[in-house]
Amino acid sequence: MGVHYVLEEGDIPEGSHKVVYVEGREIGVYFINGQYYAIHNYCPHQGAPICSGLVSGTNLPSDVYTYKYGRAGEIIRCPWHGWEFDLRTGKSLFSDKTRVRKYEVELSEGRIGIVLGSK
């Protein structure tokens, strides 16, 4: 277990991602608003490769007949059934009990590492 260095800083343009393989797992590494995030490339609904999904924002709470859009670039939508998850936390937007697995990202000397298990 521990930290697995998989990419160099600068390998992922702002607002983009790359899928890497660590110990048999596909993990999407995202660079959003200057921060790196990593999620398992597996939708908890029916196993879709979630990192193939659209990254966008979502509607925010607003008055009736008013639609406010926000959180651009922070929400990933499953390509199969449209389930939405927060890339920063892994939590779904529709249920407190559903989430995509999130991994800690560690930066060291210009390298991007994924933390599996305890360091």
Please provide the average confidence, as pLDDT, over all residues in the chain: 94
pLDDT digits (tens, 9 = 90+) for 24-48: 999 999 999 999 999 999 999 999 9
CATH code for the domain of 76: 2.102.10.10
Percent of the chain at pLDDT exceeding 70? 97
pLDDT digits 0-9 by tens, 103-113: 999 999 999 99
What single letter denotes the amino acid at residue 94? F
Cα 17 to Cα 40, 44, 62, 93: the distances in Å are 13, 20, 30, 21
What is the Rg, in whole angstroms, of the alpha carbon atoms belonging to the chain?
Answer: 15
pLDDT exceeds cutoff 90 at 1 = no
- Residue span of the structural domain in which 62 resides: 2-116
Sorting pLDDT into bands at 50, 70 and 90, what band is 117? confident
Give me 92's structure tokens: 């779904």
CA dihedral 71, 75, 52, 49 (to 10 degrees): 170
Question: pLDDT band at residue 96, thresholds of 50, 70 and 90?
Answer: confident
Domain count, the chain: 1
Does the pLDDT value for residue 119 go beyond 80?
no
Q: Which structure tokens are listed for 88? A: 């920063």
Tokens of 11: 């390998």
pLDDT at 97: 92
Arithmetic mean of pLDDT, 45-64: 93
